[in-house]
Structure 1
Amino acid sequence: FDKADKDLTEALNLKPDNIDALFLKGLVLEAGGHPQSAQRFYEATLAVDPEHPEARARLNQLTE
């Protein structure tokens, strides 16, 4: 998880609105036991693409 997290952080430093990196960072954080941080990245994904179905589904699961 640490390598994926580091790589995604680097990708987001280069392009902060990279929708794939935003969503994947949320998945990595959620899998790593950081649901509140994951929620922020799912919300950021939806800010770029309000219709992103996977981000919407993950966010709904976290906030239920």
Structure 2
Amino acid sequence: MLVDILDRVHAPAVQADYLIYTNIDIGLWPEFYVEVARRIESGFDAFMIGRRTIGTEFTAPEQFEQIVA
């Protein structure tokens, strides 16, 4: 459960400044973590990144350029 994950962040043994959570069914852009790091380095304390729904006609990794166009 999500609450278990969030509780672990506050455990004494965990020394993390940030928690990045995403659902398993979300496909991340190749630059996702680079962009997250950039925003953290810019001084944001918290931020949310929304999702983008793509059409069902895209079914193959080779179509990535079309998806992001």
Q: Aligning the two structures, in what range does the TM-score lie when normalised by the shorter sequence? A: under 0.3
Higher RCO (C-alpha 8 Å, min separation 6): 1
Using structure 1 for the length normalisation, give the TM-score. Answer: 0.26
Structure (1 or 2) with the larger CA radius of gyration: 2
Using structure 2 for the length normalisation, give the TM-score. Answer: 0.25
* Structure that is richer in helix per residue: 1
